[in-house]
Amino acid sequence: MSKKIKVAIVDYGVGNLYSLIGVFKFFNIDVNVTEEAEILNQADGIILPGVGSFAAGMRGLKIRGLDEVVKAIASRNKPMLGICLGTQLMLTEGHEFGNFKGLGIMKGKVVRFPILADNEKIPQIGWNKIFPKEPGAWTGTILNSFKENDQVYFVHSYILEPKFEKNILALSVYGGHTFCSAIRQGNIYGCQFHPEKSGQAGMKIIKNFINLIQYGKA
């Protein structure tokens, strides 16, 4: 019988959290949606969600003093999953509507999609494939269940540019442009896409993250 784990979702005023809550409920986990540092610190794993602009995201965290809290939790290598904007905030800086400092959990910046082939529309809204840097690179990560034909759901105009190759976990192609679709550092993960809206493929990623929290491995 596995111990009951405590999972918390950082509530910093941006985005719709209800589908996320639903996913964890599906796996019989009652998540705590909170902006309270104490609960976040005591959780066994946290989710950093978010949609919207980089600046608005950082502002939302700072006002609540959560930027320092999240950074500290990350430095302890506690399992953490960033989603969409949440992932972008994990990097050092963002270039949306100006230059803004991020959490700096991993080094890198967030930039806009360049002009794309075939005049492909920005934002990317829809399903897309992700792939590892090289075969087998996903073993031991929360993407280990991912199959070649699986796809996940993206909604974004800005993309991740981690500074170090080692932090790049997954790549995708949109409008002829290859970009980073997931990052990782130890137990800290960030997905540009929305696993909670990506059907079965996404559910498996969430399950792996839960396993990571529960058993120490994905």
Partner 1 sequence: MKNIRLIPRLDIKGPNVVKPIQTEALRVVGNPKKLAYHYYEAGADELIYLDIVASLYQRNLDFDLLKSVAKNIFIPITVGGGIRSISDINNVLRSGADKVAINTFAVKNPNFLSQAVKEFGSQCVVLYVEAKKRAQGGYEVYTDGGREKTGLEVIAWIKKAIGLGVGEILLTSVDRDGTRGGYDIELLKKIASFSPVPLIAHGGAGSLHSFEEAVTLAKVDALGVSSAFHYNNFSISDVKNYLAKNNINVRII
Positions annotated as catalytic residues are 84, 194, 196
- Location of structure tokens 């953490």: 80
Task: List binders of partner 1 among 120-139 (CB under 8 A).
Answer: 120-121, 123-128
Cβ neighbors of 38 (< 8 A, separation 6 or more) are none
Angstrom distances, CA of residue 96 to CA of 53, 89, 140, 145, 189: 7, 12, 33, 33, 22
Stretch that binds partner 1, among 17-25, 35-43, 90-98, 180-188 (CB under 8 A): 17-25
Strand-pair category, 7-10 with 45-48:
parallel
CA distance 180 to 130: 9
- Indicate the angle between helix axes 66-75 and 54-63, nearest 10 degrees: 90
Least distance between partner 1 and beta carbon 192 (Å): 13
Which stretch, 59-67, 72-80, 133-141, 199-207, contacts partner 1 (CB under 8 A)?
199-207
- Shortest separation between residue 206's beta carbon and partner 1, angstroms: 9
| Single-letter code of the amino acid located at 200 | Q
Choose the binding region for partner 1 from 35-43, 62-70, 133-141, 149-157 (rule: CB under 8 A). 149-157
Query: Which one among 80, 102, 202, 208 touches partner 1, defined by CB under 8 A?
Result: 202
In this structure, the dihedral spanned by the alpha carbons of residues 127, 32, 81 and 12, taken in order and rounded to 10 degrees, is 80
49 binds partner 1 per the rule CB under 8 A = no
Which of 59, 107 has the CB closer to partner 1? 59
Among 38, 118, 148, 165, binds partner 1 (CB under 8 A): 118
Shortest distance, position 18 Cβ to partner 1, whole Å: 6
List 104, 155, 161, 171, residue binding partner 1 (CB under 8 A): 155
Query: Does 22 help bind partner 1 (rule: CB under 8 A)?
Result: yes
Q: Which residues bind partner 1 (CB under 8 A)?
A: 15-16, 18-19, 22-23, 26, 51-52, 118, 120-121, 123-128, 149, 151, 153, 155, 174-175, 194, 196-203
